[in-house]
Amino acid sequence: MAIKEETKMEKIISLSKRRGFIYQGSEIYGGLAGTWDFGPYGVELRNNIKNLWWRKFVLDRDDMYGVDAAILMNQNVWKASGHVGGFSDPLVECKKCKHRFREDQLDEENRKSKKCPDCDGLLADARQFNMMFKTNVGAVEDEESISYLRPETAQGMFVNFKNIMDSFHPKLPFGLAQIGKAFRNEIAPRDFVFRSREFEQMEIEYFVDPRDSTKVNETFEALYKDQIDFLKVIGLDDSKIHKIEVPDSDRAFYSKRSVDTEFDFPFGQKELLGIAYRTDHDLKAHINSSKVDLSYFDEETKERIVPHCIEPTFGLDRLMLAVLSDAYTEDEIDGEKRVYMKFSHSIAPVKVAVFPLLKNKPLLVEKAKEIFNLIKKEFSSKGINGVVFDDNGNIGKRYRRQDEIGTPYCVTIDFETIEKDAGVTVRERDGGKQERVEIGKLVEYLSKSI
């Protein structure tokens, strides 16, 4: 059933709140713009995405080193990286309604005519607005104590390059990987979790030998392919994914090549993730600023080089939104309208929900609890979470709820289960098909596709 794109976002936002995925940050105090809190199913969905990412990019490889650097860093890190001087967006303010916009995000007409998109008032000239959140560390608030909430996870890896070299003596090529929060004082946070002020990144700094440019290009291509493969792992629709070669004019001056991956969100085709060939820009900047040697010694040629870096970067919140908008489906079963989240089984926050047909029949409840514990124990031994017991409301309501949570399987225990030892009813999410399955074969049946 086709859903109007403009109303789809409202439906996703409302389902996210209703079903415990995403809440507005500090909601009972009127909220804090650009911040979001994740409820139980939001956390599970994010954890599933993060775990699959960590497995693919760190655990299943022998050339990747995981780190988890501090969010607060010495201010000199951000001076060296160029963020203190230049991490800014062009801010324009309407003289009439005082609303603020990012100049580069205005549409062509408003930008040229300097007209406010909200009230048609006149927009003032643009000024650069630094997006880092500043704070002070320690009891004294002076120049020395200034620190920043990191605006990206990348620098936490560059400053640990030497630590990893000293502890593990890796040979090029190798990478550092990190998942963590980043903070940007965005001028205009918008589109739900697409552009927020606190968000989470999953990034890799992959170091290569610059003397072999063919190999460098091959590595870039391979990492790009890994990024796209990951989108398949989490089940995103291929046809909504677009490759954008970023032209020279739009690239950071140090980047030799950048490829953005854009996705068809309900509000348009927008950046989901990216990959950039950052050359030796970052390591050189930190060598110059810290005076610490961050070079690499090639044992074979006896040469000292500064490795180049390729950076694949993922935004977890944009992935989450892509997954939510891709999964949101409306259809009809037996003449009744329903909404369900067609999550890939690998990331669904709940995999199996177990119901007693009636909640006021102790025998049914007892049997359902027994089966729930059995599935939970077996799944847990395979490292799978997300088995829940649900006896709230009538069976129809429970199906509707689990559909909206995106639960692939619902298992119902009824009188025939107990009286005739006739197994249980398993209902599959997407087609709504119901099948009777023997209890002895239940775990195997459910595990097949999860």
Q: Which three-class secondary structure state does DSSP give residue 439?
A: helix
User: DSSP letter string over 282-327?
Assistant: HHHHHHHHH-----EEETTTTEEEPPEEEEEEEEHHHHHHHHHHHH
**From the list 9, 273, 365, 375, which residue makes contact with ligand ATP (rule: CB under 6 A)?**
273
313 forms part of the interface with ligand ATP (CB under 6 A):
yes
Query: From the CB of 160, what's the least distance to ligand ATP, in Å?
Result: 19
Q: Which is nearer to ligand ATP, 104 or 330 (by Cβ)?
A: 104
- What string marks each residue from 159 to 188 as x (binds ligand ATP by CB under 6 A) or -? -------------------------x-x--
Total site size for ligand ATP, rule CB under 6 A: 14
The residue assigned the tokens 């348009």 is 268
157 forms part of the interface with ligand ATP (CB under 6 A):
no
105 forms part of the interface with ligand ATP (CB under 6 A):
no
**From the list 226, 237, 262, 271, which residue makes contact with ligand ATP (rule: CB under 6 A)?**
271
Q: Which is nearer to ligand ATP, 217 or 313 (by Cβ)?
A: 313
User: DSSP letter string over 123-176?
Assistant: BPPPEEEE-PEEEE-SS--SGGGEEEE-S-SHHHHHTTHHHHHHHH-PPSSEEE
Long-range contacts at 358-363 (CB < 8 A, ≥ 24 apart): 359/391, 359/392, 363/418
**From the list 274, 307, 406, 423, which residue makes contact with ligand ATP (rule: CB under 6 A)?**
274
Q: State the Cα–Cα distance between residues 85 and 292, nearest whole angstrom.
A: 22
**Looking at this protein, which amino acid is placed at residue 292?**
V
When CB distances to ligand ATP are compared, the closest residue is 315
The residue assigned the tokens 């003596």 is 169
- What string marks each residue from 207 to 236 as x (binds ligand ATP by CB under 6 A) or -? ------------------------------
Q: What are phi and psi of 179, to 5 degrees?
A: -120, 130
Query: From the CB of 275, what's the least distance to ligand ATP, in Å?
Result: 10
Q: Which is nearer to ligand ATP, 191 or 391 (by Cβ)?
A: 191
Non-local CB neighbours of 355 within 8 Å, separated by 6+ positions: 368, 389, 390, 391, 395, 398, 410, 411, 412, 413
315 forms part of the interface with ligand ATP (CB under 6 A):
yes
Contact 323, 235 (CB under 8 A): yes
The one segment of 16-24, 61-69, 312-320, 325-333 that binds ligand ATP by CB under 6 A? 312-320
Q: Which is nearer to ligand ATP, 138 or 247 (by Cβ)?
A: 247
Binding residues for ligand ATP, per CB under 6 A?
152, 184, 186, 195-196, 199, 201, 271, 273-274, 313, 315, 317-318
